[in-house]
Structures are given as C-alpha cells and as structure tokens.
Amino acid sequence: MNNPFDILFEPVPIGPVVAPNRFYQVPHCNGLGHRMPRALAALRGVKAEGGWGVVCTEEVEIHPSSDLAPNIEGRLWDDGDIPALALMTEAVHAHGALAGIELTHAGHHAWNLISRTPALGLSSVGVSGFAPWQTRRLDKEDIRNVRRWHRAAALRAKRAGFDIIICYAAHNLSLAMHFLLRRYNDRRDKYGGSLANRTRFLRELIEDTKEAVGDSCAVAVRLAVDELLGEEGLSAQGEGYEIVALLAELPDLWDVNISDWSNDSATSRFAKEGYQEPYIGFVKSLTSKPVVGVGRYTSPEAMVNAIRNGVMDLVGAARPSIADPFLPEKIRDGCIADIRECIGCNICVTGDTLYTPIRCTQNPTMGEEWRRGWHPERIAPRQTAQEILVVGGGPAGLECARALGQRGYTVTLTEAENEPGGRVIRECRLPGLAEWRRVVDWRLTQISQLPQVSLYPGSPMRAADVLESGFKHVIVATGAQWRRDGKRRTVLRPLPGHNLPHVFTPDDWLRQGFDKLSHQAQPPQLTGQVVIYDDDHYYMGGVLTELLAGQGCQVTLVTAAPLISYWSQYTLEQGRIQRRLTELGVTFFVQHKLQAIEPDFVRLVSVVNGRAQDIAADSVILVTDRQPNDELYHSLKPALAEGKLSSLRVIGDAEAPNIIAQAVFSGHLAAREFEELARTETPFKMEYIDLD
C-alpha cells in the first residue's frame, strides 16, 4: 500500500534547483550562529539527515552596519566568513538536502554594538527596542551600497555552497521590510510614497541577486504578508496581498508568514497547529512559484491538507524540526507515533533571546550534536547487563528510563501516582497548556516499545523499599513541590501569615484528585478577591491568574519584577499574557513584594521606595520557590557509602528545581553518562579560536 503521505515526498523544483521533498526547515535563530559554527553545522546536518529537504540558516548579517549583537546570528561580512558557513552547506549536502541562506540587512533593527557604525534607517529614527541612539538616514548612495553589499553576500553565499538565497522581508527585522511599511517609510524619493515605490528596494534586491547568482542558485523571498495590525501594517486583505501581486513571478520561491516574531512563533498557549493558514492562504492564487508556509505542523495529515488545499507547496517548520529533526523520516517510514511533537513552549527561542546555545524541551540533544556528540535518534549501547531503578516518573525520570532502555539496559521505573508524568501531567490541565502533555505521551509511547523498561505507577518508594528491592543502581527523580512559606528571591524569610487557611500554592490545583499526599481533596473553590504573588516569574503565576479570573474572581497579580510573568519575555509570550489578563480585568502590581498576609488583606511594599499599602484579599496564592523532594536521595546516600548501592544519582527537580526542558535534559544526561567515563574537565567541547 502506498504511504498516505506520499505527496510530502515529491520533489519540488525551485528555480534552477530541486528540493528532494516538501519538508523545508525555514530559517531559525539558535544562539550558536557565527560564534559556534561547528556546533551549528552539526545541528543543521542532523536536520538534513532526518529528511528535511531544505535546511536554512538563521538571519545572516551581510555587513558590519547590520551587526545584530548581542544576538548571535549568522555572519557574512566578508570572505573570511565563508569557511564557517561552508561547514554547514557541507553537512547539509552530505544528506542530499538543499542549503538556504537568509541574507539580512537589519536597518534600524541593528544596534551595531560591535561594529560601532551608525545603524541605517529610512529616516533618522531611534533604533528598535529601548536604546538611546538613532539611525543615519539612508541617502541614494547608501541605498546603492546596501544593494552592493547584498549582491556581494549572495556571491559569497554561492561560494560557500548555498543553493537558495533568501531576500528577507519578514518579522519587521529587515531593511527590505522597513521600506515596505508606511509607518516607517516617509521618504519622498522613488523608494517612498506609493506601494510600488516602497516595494522597489525589495524588487531590486531580488533582481540583483538573480543577476548575480540566479544561474545556479534559487532566489527566494521571505515576506510577512500580515502583521495582525489591521490598517496600520501589512495585511492579507491589504498591502501584504498587493506586494505579492506586484512581485508574483519574480522570486523562485515565496516563504510567507505573519509578523512580528511573536506572531510567527506563537506558542501553543495562544495558537494551534496551522494557525497561519487564514493569513497566507491567498499567496498561491497570485503566483505559479512554490510557496512555503509555517504553522507548527507536527501531524502529517495537517501537512497533506495544507498542500492539497492549495495553501502551500512546501511545509515549512522551525520548531517541529527542532523537537524532531527526524520528523520527515518517521513519516516516510510510517512511524507516526514516534514523532516527538513540538509542544509550542518556545524554550528554543530563548537561545536567541538569551544569547546562549539553543535548547528544546522535547529534544534534549538539540544544540548538543557537536559539543557533546549527541544524536537525536542514536545513543551508545549499554556497557554491561546492569539493572537500574529509576524512582519518579516525571519528565526527568521518564526521559532517563527511556534513554537507558534505548541503550539496552533493564530499567524499573516506579512512580508514586497512578498516572505517570509528574508536573507535566498536572500542569497540562491548566489553561492553554494542553499540548505540553506531549512530553509525557511521547516518552510513554517509547517506553511501551522497550520490553526491558518496566513502569510501575502507584508505587511510592521509601529508602527501605529501595534497599529491599535489591537494585544496585538507583536514579532518584522525585521532583519538587511549591513552597508554602512564600520564600523566594524577594521574600527571604517565611512570610508572616503564610499558614492561614486562605493561603494556597499552585499544588492545591495541580495535585488535587491526583496526589494521595495532598492536603486538598478538591481544588479550592475561590470567590471574591484573590491575590496571587508571583515570585517565580515564568508561566505559573499568569496561568493561575487566567484560570481564576476566568472563573469570576477579582484577581490582583503582584510581582517584584518590573513586568508580570517577566521571564516569558524570552519565550515571546509576555505581551500576549499581559493583554489576555488585562482583558480578563486583572489588576497588576509590579515592583511590589508581599510583606505580610492578614485574614482579609495583604500588605504590599514597593521595591522602589519601600512604601507599604494594604489591599483586600479573600484568598492568597503563593507562587514562589519549589522545594526539592530530595529526602529519598539523602536517605540513600549512606547506603552508597556503605557499599549497599553501586551508584546513586539525583536528577531533575529533585536535584534543583528548574524548567521542564532542564528536567528532560537532566534525565537524558544521566542516561548517557551511566557507566561512561566521567569527564573531569568541561563536559563538552568548546569552539576556541585557533591561535596558530
């Protein structure tokens, strides 16, 4: 029988080149960029190995006047940058895929902190973000220069081995897009005014690139066709449509999406698979050239539908290719249940926003391909026939047991609760977090295919049980729970009033009906005024606020940070969270910490001027630190010293509470390191500059 997804494996001509299939890894940032080219080449190579027919770079700066530091992007300022990029094209070509490069002049988005040249803008305006300097207004000579730099970069890209050269006009991050936008472009020359004039620069970039390298390289355009700003920006009903109509047949390929980046990479909390289709669906009606679109596609049915319904010709993906570089191969082999589906959490994005190597919640090998030699599908086989006990079936324990089982070890995994999954299986019931369940589902599916891994839910283990079980190797993954005393970074001592009956923690919602140890049989039924103190700063405070405000409570969200859900800036969610909670009528107190809880009010104190104020509170929820469940580990340690155990390791939140991605990583690391020689020096390779 034919594979029902055969259409995904048809080759697609793109100008002078041919993509071997319809899987197209769109450009994505990674925090490696020009600083870690070997690591990046290995990452891209693994995608090609996993079946992605086209594998692209991230944004690549074409000139020092487009220096995106502190973000770490690709760089092609001069010939000296060619060898680093050639590492990537070699890695991609080795698996028969095409390599694409996204050339970027970032205009007023570049801060030029390294190059110290003035940023270039359509007029002299403040650079993007909250920085106190402005651009130099581009004159005619500057525009000619940018075109020249772009052309030179295209020629260098060709020498580096790229097959597809992308002219970038998306995410509001490039000069070509700035020219298109009425709100930036107030020029009175031939580059301003009418839409045809505002499109001129992008048209020229495409023409220049085709003239320079179009004989052997495809020339693509990456365009934001809708900015979700209505009249103020490009839209599928307005100028986004008209730009595609104006340039329809000029590029060899259209890669279309919505802007800005937070819209394009919307998290699963705010958008579902295929969410861009209503905006990009028109493009194919205007051009005969192949069209790429994205929408966090992980299901082959949705991909096939997007193609058959005429939305796109190639299925674009950044995050699904990060979570599972072998997604195309798994579809081809009919191993659909083995696809490690992206959960839409945007931890991968924090590589760019925090200027550090990319990480992924689902795929602990992401970013570690070169520096630790990790492969997403392969792992070193076991050394001996040892049997291992893993205690705790949250993300850390599940990943550890799965990866040990993949290595061939015999593993017993015990979980206290009747349903494995730890914090993830609880949290995925909160508003917007349903897709996070995939962290557990994928691991349980894999474990079910490993006869040497036995899972025992409903089996809490004490130290005596562990020792009686006779296992010599024990890995403790017993997680953590929310503190009830309010201690965290801003409250250094137990909070006065924390033990009053109207004070709760997230566990009162998460553990109800789940946890035999919970002191709540049912989630608290709160009404009236609720104060949530968020000293965790990621999603939990905001999600509980959303839950309770949605149930009709009058919620006040208090944080010592300058923004609510402060850390969610790095996952591109902060603005959306604030908007949603504002719409629900939530009151915010930022830069305030909780000083005391009384029976019917709380005392807040400003972290700016120390001024105190009381606000009414019928209930209080403390979202502060979590307490590691590490008693089991510590009570087993003497047994290790006495030789009753051969090895003992604590992983995940039981070792140090962290985000889910770190629990998965920690479990994976423990499995990789089991019976392997421990490195005493830095446990991964570094990309030092060769001083010879």
Q: Which two tokens stand for residue 366?
A: 């992401």
> Catalytic pick from 264, 324, 338, 508?
264
Interaction residues for ligand SF4, span 357-396 (CB under 6 A) = 360-362
User: Distance of alpha carbon 428 from its chain centroid, rounded?
Assistant: 17
Phi then psi for 623, rounded to 5 degrees? Answer: -110, 85
The Cβ of residue 111 has, within 10 Å, a number of other Cβ atoms equal to 19
Cα–Cα separations (whole angstroms), residue 224 to 232, 244, 283, 559, 671: 14, 10, 11, 35, 42
Binding flag, residue 416, ligand ADP (CB under 6 A): yes
CB of 447 to ligand ADP, least distance (A): 14
The nearer residue to ligand SF4, 303 or 476, going by C-beta atoms, is 303
Would you say 32 and 39 are in contact if contact means Cβ atoms under 8 Å apart?
A: yes
Tell whether residue 43 is a contact of ligand SF4 (CB under 6 A).
no
Of the candidates 650, 647, 667, the residue with the CA atom closest to the CA atom of residue 386: 647
Asked if residues 104 and 168 have their Cβ atoms less than 8 Å apart, the reply is: yes
**CA 500/CA 487 separation, integer angstroms:** 15
461 contacts ligand ADP (rule: CB under 6 A):
yes
CB of 673 to ligand ADP, least distance (A): 17
Residue 653 touches which of ligand ADP, ligand SF4, none (CB < 5 to 8 A by kind)? ligand ADP
219 binds, among ligand ADP, ligand SF4, none (CB under 5 to 8 A by kind): none
Three-class SS string for 151-207? HHHHHHHHHHCCCEEEEEECCCCCHHHHHHCCCCCCCCCCCCCCHHHHHHHHHHHHH
Stretches 24-32, 64-72, 354-362, 603-611: which one binds ligand SF4 (CB under 6 A)? Answer: 354-362
50 binds, among ligand ADP, ligand SF4, none (CB under 5 to 8 A by kind): none
The mark string for 383-412 relative to ligand ADP (x by CB under 6 A, - otherwise) is --------xxxxxxx---------------
Is the CB of 166 or the CB of 391 nearer to ligand ADP?
Answer: 391
Q: Is residue 343 a contact point for ligand ADP (CB under 6 A)? A: no
Question: In angstroms, what is the minimal distance from the CB of 43 to ligand SF4?
Answer: 12
Q: Which stretch binds ligand ADP (CB under 6 A): 270-278, 302-310, 492-500, 649-657?
A: 649-657
Q: Which listed option, ligand ADP, ligand SF4, none, makes contact with residue 98 (CB within 5 to 8 Å by class)?
A: none
- Among residues 346 and 446, whose Cβ is nearest to ligand SF4? 346
* Cβ nearer to ligand SF4, comparing 345 with 391: 345
C-alpha torsion 351→354→356→359, nearest 10: -30
Q: Which stretch binds ligand SF4 (CB under 6 A): 161-169, 221-229, 346-354, 494-502?
A: 346-354
Q: Establish if 506 lies at the interface with ligand ADP (CB under 6 A).
A: no
User: SS in 3 state form for 452-475?
Assistant: CEEEECCCCCCHHHHHHHCCCEEE
Comparison of 127 and 323: residue with beta carbon closer to ligand SF4:
323
The verdict on whether 264 is a catalytic residue reads yes
CB of 455 to ligand SF4, least distance (A): 23
Q: Please count the other Cβ atoms lying within 10 Å of the Cβ belonging to residue 336.
A: 13
Nearer to ligand SF4, 325 or 397 (CB): 325
Among 168, 297, 409, 539, which one carries the catalytic annotation?
Answer: 168
- Find, among 201, 285, 287, the residue nearest to 250 by Cα: 287
**Which residue in the set 81, 417, 508, 573 belongs to the binding site for ligand ADP (CB under 6 A)?**
417
Asked if 345 interacts with ligand SF4 (CB under 6 A), we say yes
CB of 246 closer than 8 Å to CB of 196:
yes
Residues ≥6 apart with Cβ < 8 Å to 588: 556, 557, 558, 559, 564, 578, 581
Q: Is 348 in the site for ligand SF4 (CB under 6 A)?
A: yes
Written in H, E and C, the secondary structure of 92-150 is HHCCCCEEEEEEECCHHHCCCCCCCCCCEECCCCECCCCCCCECEECCHHHHHHHHHHH
Cβ atoms of 123 and 117 within 8 Å: the answer is no
Q: Is 630 helix (H, G, I), strand (E, B) or coil?
A: coil
Q: Check if 29 is active-site.
A: yes
CB of 331 to ligand ADP, least distance (A): 29
For residue 298, the minimal CB distance to ligand SF4 (Å) is 9
Backbone angles phi, psi at 121, to 5 degrees: -135, 170
Residues forming the site for ligand ADP (CB under 6 A): 391-397, 414-417, 422-423, 460-461, 477-480, 629, 632, 652-654, 663
Residues forming the site for ligand SF4 (CB under 6 A): 319, 322-323, 342-348, 360-362
Provide the annotated active-site residues. 29, 168, 171, 264
